[in-house]
Structure 1
Amino acid sequence: MKTADCPSVLLIYTGGTIGMIENPETGALESFNFDQLLKHVPELKRFNCHISTYQFNPPIDSSDMEPELWAKIVKIISSHYNDYDGFVILHGTDTMAYTACALSFMLENLSKPVILTGSQLPIGMLRTDGKENLITAIEIAAARRPDGTPMVPEVCIFFENELMRGNRTTKINAENFNAFRSFNYPPLAKVGIHIRYEEHLIRRPDPSRPMKPHYLFDTNVVVLTLFPGIRESIVSSVLHVPGIKAVVLKTFGSGNAPQKEWLIRQLKEANERGIVIVNITQCQRGVVEMQRYGTGLQLLQTGVISGYDSTPECAVTKLMFLLGHGLNQQEIRRLMDSNLAGEITKE
């Protein structure tokens, strides 16, 4: 546990490539027991930091990650919140950005680092990127400012020499080590010989308020991607999915859609039925500006709201989070228009 001179970090292994080793007999990748962590990463013995571990049993492939498991992670962090200075979550890369977004909303007024990381190659392989990612993530989670407060009291993703705000990050690469990118917000730190923090970019909690964990989600959300030639029957079927409460509408450019009478009618009717429709761009970089062109303005007039520069992962998890708390359409629209955890840029 933590002491005045030696910070402590809780390492939470959920699953993923980073925790795999190759079976010498079959060649298959298998999860190893993180009780043997020091055997595989002996460099951790050199840390002036106390490291404890918690392992999901069985480990979860990140493709199977879901809100119930996000709640489990939050419960682990909340129950150990006063015992550790920071938390590192080892997670598969495929859904890491979704988990980081969800945790940024679930851990309200977070005042300690929660750093997600993983790897493209298993930690037991010779050229693995897992060791460097793990070691640096722990160092960041334990880092403190001169006044003793945590250096990065946010939910972040650390990968390939960059520390990124979790709810601004998306996976862009399944082949190279630079698997993640934060297109619309600069990295909070860059890692080379030194770790260079951009303190003016880092969010600071309200010291008068405690951290408040949340656990509720409603998954009645769908993503609808527009494309040239999309048919009314497809849009209608999506907007009439039984129980659907919110739609993430992925549009062109700065938030534009085809000028089709049927599309405007379908969206307007969905809004009138109480469905929240959030407009985000299909572009990786940039922001929705529905008032910029007539093709975007028509969406605004139907009741579609701007997602600004949200990533798809952020828009989906934020809607699920707000819906889970039983808020009405008007309140959800107001909060989707609000910057809750540094997830959007509003001028």
Structure 2
Amino acid sequence: MNKKIFVLYTGGTIGMKHSPQGLTPDTALVHQALQPFSDGLEFDWHVCNPLIDSSAVTLADQQNWLGLIGRNIARYDGFLILHGTDTLAYTANLFALACCNLDKPIVLTGSQWPYTADNSDAPLNLATAVAALQLGLPQVTIAFNGKLYPAVGSSKVSTQTAAGFDNPHFGALAELSPEGRLSAAAPTPQTNGGFHILTINPQAKIFAYPLIPGFSANHLAHILNHTPTQALILQSYGHGNAPADPAMIEALGNFIRQGGRVLNISQVPQGCAAAVYAQGNALRHAGVITGGKCNLETATALLTLAVSNDWDNHTICQILQQLGLVEAV
């Protein structure tokens, strides 16, 4: 019996066409692009109207797409999400954290060049995604340039080459063979209840602040005190180090005491925020959560869900451990 696959076409470069204003979304991709892979798979297309350039994706869009998955999870053997590359890793990470007890594959892909362009990477990315659906790993993954990556920890790393994505800490789960197959060890099944999707508040206010030498602590304090920020991602140096500036520490402490959440992650692509240097002690004493191997995309998903579901610091730390981003203590 053929596997039934739900295809969610959100937009993105993979299906774009040229216009006087530049590349714009188009529906010509529908049905055509997956015809070469119809042996053993049946594809049901759901096309977003309007199609979305992924740089314009909102939490409301992601919430709607998760709703489609939730309503169709029982009817399909897997889900293929065609998505623009700019925010693909953000969507993949949110899906990975929001979908609990997932027992079917959710695969996201896109392309650096349109499907119809000469030497486009789209056919290889689609072949990789289809192989991932046939492999059937019950998790959220990104299929790109012949490799399959776990969503958590993945980022867009290039706009110039076909190798658009990478996962600096966890690497690829599998690589496409010359025969067009993927092989990978299946993750340990989750057994704590049936499939469900966590609440997402499309009005959640998450802010990311990268530290740079000579930054103004007063500027950060102003952001925390005069904007509707509910959670802050602090992108610090190296192992999670930051200036022990009294004004900054006071601003962060006040924000946390008033119910805000602050997650400290490293700016380094393969960085790990950890209690290594004494320079980071002031942040930890202020109540800032140490994010370990958490990258920006995963941190955004985690804090979005934390705000949406009213998670406290203890719950956030537990999830960081479950994801393998920090060591259990």
TM-score, normalised to structure 1, is 0.87
Amino acid at match of 1:238: I
Give, in whole Å, the separation in 2 of the partners of 1:135 and 1:60: 23
- Which of 119, 125, 137 pairs up with 2:117? 125
Query: 2:112 aligned with 1:112, yes or no?
Result: no
Q: 2:210 aligns with which of 216, 221, 225?
A: 225
* Corresponding residue to 1:164 among 109, 130, 149: 149
Q: 1:322 aligns with which of 287, 302, 306?
A: 306
Is 2:68 aligned against 1:76? yes
Corresponding letter in the other structure for 1:89: I
Give the CA deviation at 1:94. Answer: 0.3
Q: Select 1:37's aligned residue among 10, 31, 34.
A: 31
Q: State the one-letter code of the partner of 2:36.
A: E
The answer on whether the counterparts of 2:291 and 2:326 sit within 8 Å (CA) in structure 1 is: no
Contact 2:57 2:87 in 1 (8 A): yes
Report the AA paired with residue 224 of structure 2. L
Q: CA deviation at 1:248?
A: 0.6
SS in 2 for 1:32: coil
1:252 to 237, 249, 263: 237
Match of 1:7 among 3, 8, 16: 3
Residues 219 and 36 of structure 1: is their aligned pair in 2 closer, same or farther, counting only changes over 3 Å?
A: closer
SS across alignment from 1:50:
strand
Deviation of the 1:30 alpha carbon: 4.2
Q: Is the 8 A contact 1:281 1:288 kept in 2?
A: yes
Could you list the per-position Cα deviations for residues 259-315 of structure 1 after superposition, in whole angstroms to 9, with x for gaps in the alignment? 32222222222222222111100100021112x111112211111111111111111
Matched, 1:342 2:323: yes
* 1:277 partner SS: strand
Q: C-alpha distance in 2, partners of 1:138/1:338?
A: 34
Residue in 1 that maps onto 2:312: 332
Alpha-carbon shift at residue 34 of structure 1 (Å): 5.3
**Match status 1:309 vs 2:293:** yes
* Inter-CA distance 269–36: structure 2 relative to 1 (3 Å threshold): closer
CA-CA distance at 1:345 after TM superposition: 4.0
> Could you tell me which amino acid in structure 1 is paired with residue 16 of structure 2?
M
Q: Give the partner amino acid of 2:184.
A: E
Q: TM-score, normalised by structure 2?
A: 0.92
Q: CA RMSD in A?
A: 2.1
Which residue does 1:197 correspond to in 2?
Answer: 183
Report if the CA contact (8 A) 1:34-1:53 is conserved: no
Question: Contact 1:264 / 1:298 at 8 angstroms: preserved in 2?
Answer: yes
Which amino acid letter does the alignment assign opposite residue 63 of structure 1?
Answer: S
- In 2, Cα distance between equivalents of 1:294 and 1:33: 55
**What residue in structure 1 maps to residue 81 of structure 2?**
89
Change (3 A) 1:343 1:16: farther
Structure 1 contact 223–248 (Cα < 8 Å) conserved: yes
1:10 counterpart letter in structure 2: F
Does the residue aligned with 2:43 lie in a helix, a strand or coil?
Answer: strand
Asked if 2 retains the 8 angstrom alpha-carbon contact of 1:113 and 1:154, the reply is: yes
Q: 1:59 to 1:296 in 2, by over 3 A?
A: same
Structure 2 stretches lacking a partner, 5+ long:
none
Native 8 Å contact 1:41 1:131 kept in 2:
no
- Give the match for residue 147 of structure 1: none
